[in-house]
Structure formats: structure tokens, C-alpha cells
Amino acid sequence: MQIGMIGLGRMGANMTRRLTNGGHQCVVFDRDRQTVDALAKDGSIAAYSLGELVEKLSVPRAVWIMLPSGAPTEETVLTLAKLLQSDDAIIDGGNSFYKDDVRRSAMLKPSGIHYLDAGTSGGVWGLERGYCLMIGGDQSSAQRLDPIFATLAPGPGNIPKTPERQGTNSTAELGYLYCGPSGAGHFVKMIHNGIEYGLMQAYAEGFDILRGANSDNLPAGLSYDLNLADIAELWRRGSVVSSWLLDLTATALASDRQLDGYTGFVEDSGEGRWTIQAALEEGVSAEVLSVALYTRFRSRQEHSFAEKILSAMRKGFGGHVERPPAVKMKKGL
């Protein structure tokens, strides 16, 4: 099957390679000409403008956008709207806000251009492992593009089937799923990423407590010099908290036991905020996900003025005096 791919960053380039390896023909465009040329050497068809990409695709066309959410995706969709024709399809595989999907789909509907939102999880490992795809939008277009989704997805692998799901007719076991009308795919991916924030925060806090077990402030006989790299490796095997995130943690600790290569400044890409916004709109409690998001905000600053206010109030009402600047830690983990 033929498809256009716009945006050849870490994920877009590997998705293109996976599709090419799977027998599909990819017409590729990126502002970085060298990236386009590199993929052309791997079997893709190079295009050096959006217009050229559209010209090289056969009708009905399918164009996958793999760009940052917001202005880059919006501008690309608006440009493609002028170049494509009825029955062509745009697939947004980035992390767009699901309400933008609903708006764009409605905008394109009068021209007959179909708009699909495809939440894509897999990161830089997707070329090897495959990509988990959460798809929303026009169902007939999703069915037409099923070969594309099936190639990008990881497939059943060696994961055993869930009990009681025997005989179900769903692509979920293959790693991709049509979730519903416009916005549904990115809505599911948004919540996926919100959960990811919470899981990551739980691991981060747990390992921080393990590291703190070596504190000089603990009573004699109750401090432990724990090997975090070994514990992470241990938990990968048979533990109920084993996961791919733990695998990544174990890898990081094995190569950098003190994590000196990191500052602790943690970004967020938007989905965590949108998840909390959705929870507010639905009236659903989301304490863990909210704290995980705010902790990321907190990671980007030294002690804030707000914390000074808290300290001042604590001294005012209870005479609480601040501890020394930092709790001393013994060397090692």
C-alpha cells in the first residue's frame, strides 16, 4: 500500500522504515532534506515539498503527519487541505489535543477529505517492537488503511491471550484498535500518557525512598546501603511491578548508578495537562495523575517562593524551624 509520511524525526523515520520493510511504498517529506535523502536510500520516495508529496501519491491518497502538536500540525493540515481532494485521508499520528481533531475533521468534511487521529505509542523502540495505535475518525477510511496499521502495530507477539477474551473479534490483540469517531484515538492516547505519568512517578518516588534508606538521619541499625541497580533488575523478574518502564529504569541504573548524567528537569508534552482537564470536565477524581503532573512542574525550579511562604507559615503557627539545606547521604546506593 502507498502512503505519504510527513515528519521524519525519531518516530516518523522509524515508522517509515517499518512500513517499507513491511512492503509498503512511502513517499516522505521533512524540512530536513538530508533526512529525506537518507530514507530515500532505504527505499522510500523522496519529496521536497508538500505539493510534490501529494503529486507522487496515487488516489485515493493517504498522508500520515508525524509532527509536534499545535502549530506545526495545524499549519500542515491547512496546507494539505488545499492540495488534497475528496476521498483522500489525513492521519495525525502525533500527540494532538483530541478537541483539535474534532474541529479539523469538521473543517475538512465539506471537501470530502477524511481525517483520522492515531495516537501512537512506541517511542524510539517502535521500529523493532512495533507501535501501539489508538485510532479515531472516519471508520471506512480506517478500514481502508488497515494494512498500514497492521504493519506498524506489534502484532500478537508472545503475550498470552487474556482469559475470557477467546473468540472476540478485535484487533486489540494485534496492538491497534479503532476506538471511535473523531478525537477518540487521541483521547485514549491522552489518558494512556496520563497513566504513564503516574506510573513513572510511582517508580521515581519508590527508588528515591530506597536511596534514602542510607540516610544519616535514620536510627542506628535501621539504615540500608541498597544496590538500586540490582533491585531494579530483581523486580524485572517475577515481580508484580515489572514493566517496560522498569526495564528502562534498570538499564539507566546499570549504566549510571548515581544518574549523574541527569539534572532532574522533567518536561511534559501536554497530554498530562489535557488528562487532568478531561477529569475536571467529567468530574472524575484523578489524584495520582494530578500529583505526577505537578511534580514535573516542580522539577523545573529550585525551591520556589511558594515553598518559602509555606515555611514562614509553619514557623508562624507552630515555631517549626527549617532543617539544614539538605539531608546528607552516604556515598553510593
- The catalytic site residues sit at 189, 196
Site of grid cell 514562614: 312
Which ranges of 84-164 would DSSP assign to H, the alpha helix? 98-108, 126-129, 139-144, 146-152
d(CA 274, CA 63): 26
d(CA 170, CA 266): 36
The percent helix, strand, coil of the chain (3-state, each to 5) is 50, 10, 40
CA torsion sign for 102, 104, 105, 107 is: positive
* DSSP string for residues in 187-236: HHHHHHHHHHHHHHHHHHHHHHHHHHTTBTTSPTT------HHHHHHHHT
Cβ atoms 155, 174 nearer than 8 A? yes
Cα radius of gyration rounded to whole Å, the chain: 24
Burial of 299 (0-12, 13-18, 19+ CB in 10 A): middle
Q: Which residues contact 166 (CB under 8 A, 6 or more apart)?
A: none
Q: How many CA atoms, within 13 angstroms, populate the side-chain half-sphere of residue 318? A: 7
DSSP-based three-state secondary structure for 86: coil
